[in-house]
Amino acid sequence: MLAEIRRYKKIPRIDLSESTGISRATVTTITADLLKEGLIEEVRSETPEKDLRRGRPKVDLKIRGAAHHVVGIKIANKSLSTVLHDFEGIQIADHEVALEESVFEADALADEVSKAIEGLTSTAGLSAEEVSGVGVGIAGTVDALQGFVYWSPSLHQRNVELGQVLEDRLGVPVFLDNDANLVAVAERAFGLAKENSDFIVITIESGVGMGIVIGNELYRGNRGCGAELGHTKVQLDGALCRCGQRGCLEAYVADYALLREAGISGRHKSVSKVEDLLSAARDGDSVAKSIVDRAGRMFAMGLANIVNIFDPELIILSGEQMHSDHLYASEVIDAMRNSVVHIDKPGPEVVIHKWGDLMWARGAAAFALDEVSEIAITGHRENAQ
């Protein structure tokens, strides 16, 4: 209910009943409780006068922004991005911290996170105690319900109870998840999937990530390690991947894969940045073009496999790096469409969403908002951490 009000920003009770499928009487009872607890508030409706006369209600409900504050944080390679949101979901402050290392002991990472949050809250003139929950996005394999990290490129150790470590340090509830999952949460909360209950988000950064939303819920798999699109195999005994296996999609489309190919060519042997290779391809260099084109065709194949499995209504190709244009190209989307099972009904909508680097952190904040709302209403958290 809170999530629904938050999504609409302002909504009359009668529309809330319609959008949730809950009876008007029950909506009235529940919202009375939420009003009493100060989680929501009534505001004057902005419905035009003439509609009011036709029996439209005079007040809307909205989330009371000051009820809670949450922090969203993305642990990236050599940086921490943080955002502060009020309970309405409005972003109040953001703060970015550069890190000297990219791989940490859990305690040292907790120190950095704690410092970053202090920096953020002091920017906003808030004390750290006024934060009700912290959402954390991290690359790697994460069991979100347990706050458990099987492995992450940001941690020296495997099998770290990072959620607990952070919670002990910060003294507030911490909600941890894989970063691509949190982009899916962000797309649902304030991105391009506000109206979609089922969709797939694919992120292209140093790796290929995926978030799956089915029936309004993130699908996380049994151990929290599904949605590994980057390590689905596109070639039997294919190119070596950084994960140690062969033929993974990432081994054909990631930056390192393109540079590996460039290293073979006499002409591009000294290319050290993917941007340079892409620019050579755009300028018509045949070898560079061959390298970049194959990455696109392999990516189309990986995308097609997702469509053949999920038949989603919407796929969002979501990322902050502008230089992945070659993977978002219309030729790639067309190749994907040519590789899926054909029926006489159009396939999924594919949209490209390029955003600033705060999207990851905003997804973590949206996750924290959902979980803090759950705690505010039920008194306990959904996850078992």
Number of residues lying near a second copy (CB under 8 A)? 52
Does residue 214 interact with a second copy by CB under 8 A?
yes
Cα(144)–Cα(5) distance, integer angstroms: 25
Residue of the chain from 156, 223, 269, 282 that contacts a second copy (CB under 8 A): 223
Which of these, 186, 154, 189, lies nearest to 5 by C-alpha position? 189
Does residue 333 interact with a second copy by CB under 8 A?
no
Amino acid of residue 135: G
For 15, the token pair is 């529309």
Tell me how far, at minimum, the Cβ of 109 lies from a second copy, in Å. 19
For 101, the token pair is 């290392």
Tell me how far, at minimum, the Cβ of 361 lies from a second copy, in Å. 25
Active site residue 143: no
Secondary structure class of 42 (helix, strand, coil): strand
- From its phi and psi, is residue 216 left (phi > 0), alpha (psi between -120 and 50) or beta? left
Does residue 234 interact with a second copy by CB under 8 A?
yes
Residue of the chain from 308, 331, 334, 382 that contacts a second copy (CB under 8 A): 308
CB 246 within 8 A of CB 239: yes
CB 295 within 8 A of CB 329: no
Across 108-193, where does the E strand assignment appear? 133-138, 141-143, 148-151, 174-178
Residue of the chain from 83, 202, 229, 365 that contacts a second copy (CB under 8 A): 229
Secondary structure class of 94 (helix, strand, coil): strand
Among residues 12 and 296, whose Cβ is nearest to a second copy?
A: 296
Q: Near a second copy by CB under 8 A, which window of 101-109, 241-249, 283-291, 322-330?
A: 241-249
Among residues 89 and 147, whose Cβ is nearest to a second copy?
A: 147
Q: How far is CA 141 from the centre of its chain?
A: 14
CB 258 within 8 A of CB 293: no
The 3-class SS string of 99-132 reads CCCCCECHHHHHHHHHHHHHHHHHHCCCCHHHCC
Does residue 228 interact with a second copy by CB under 8 A?
yes
Window 143-182: contact mask with a second copy (x via CB under 8 A):
-------xx------xx-----------------------
User: In terms of residues, how long is the chain?
Assistant: 385
Q: Which of 179, 283, 285, 334 is catalytic?
A: 179
Among residues 53 and 380, whose Cβ is nearest to a second copy?
A: 380
Secondary structure class of 384 (helix, strand, coil): coil
Tell me how far, at minimum, the Cβ of 172 lies from a second copy, in Å. 28
Residue of the chain from 120, 298, 359, 366 that contacts a second copy (CB under 8 A): 298
For 196, the token pair is 């979609």
Residue of the chain from 98, 322, 343, 384 that contacts a second copy (CB under 8 A): 343
Residue of the chain from 10, 231, 323, 381 that contacts a second copy (CB under 8 A): 231
Question: Binding residues for a second copy, per CB under 8 A?
Answer: 141, 150-151, 158-159, 198, 210, 212, 214-215, 217, 219-229, 231-236, 243, 245, 247, 297-298, 301, 304-306, 308-313, 338-341, 343-345, 347-348
Active site residues: 179
